[in-house]
Amino acid sequence: QVQLQQWGAGLLKPSETLSLTCAVYGGSFSGYYWSWIRQPPGKGLEWIGEINHSGSANYNPSLKSRVTISIDTPNNQFSLRLSSVTAADTAVYYCARDSAATEYWGQGTLVTVSS
């Protein structure tokens, strides 16, 4: 059974960098894209980006200038960094397997940006 477990800082100040990591347990790590998706409180889902095992990444054009997704294949982990955060980046952040048919999700991490 595939499980995704994520962690990272939950409270940031404006202009800081958000950093989250997701570990994958079970299943194949190399055969899929691994993605990050976020959901502001009370709002809808927004795709942030994805990466495959070889490090090829794709990003949401609206966030591309601030986002970096990286991968640690030997440890079956991948990470998200979002720079220069503002209150608008306050959201639950999910890691997930695949982007277009996402069957496996992490538990979600609420990241709050507040001064």
Residue among 61 and 74 whose Cβ is closer to another protein? 61
Tell me which residues touch another protein (CB under 8 A).
35, 37, 43-47, 50, 58-62, 94, 99-103, 105-108
Minimum CB separation from another protein for residue 48, in Å? 10
Sheet-wide strand order for 46-51: 11-12, 109-113, 91-97, 34-39, 46-51, 57-59
Residue among 16 and 46 whose Cβ is closer to another protein? 46
Minimum CB separation from another protein for residue 46, in Å? 6
Sheet-wide strand order for 3-8: 3-8, 18-25, 77-82, 67-72
Residue among 7 and 105 whose Cβ is closer to another protein? 105
What whole-number distance in Å separates Cα of residue 11 and Cα of residue 58? 26
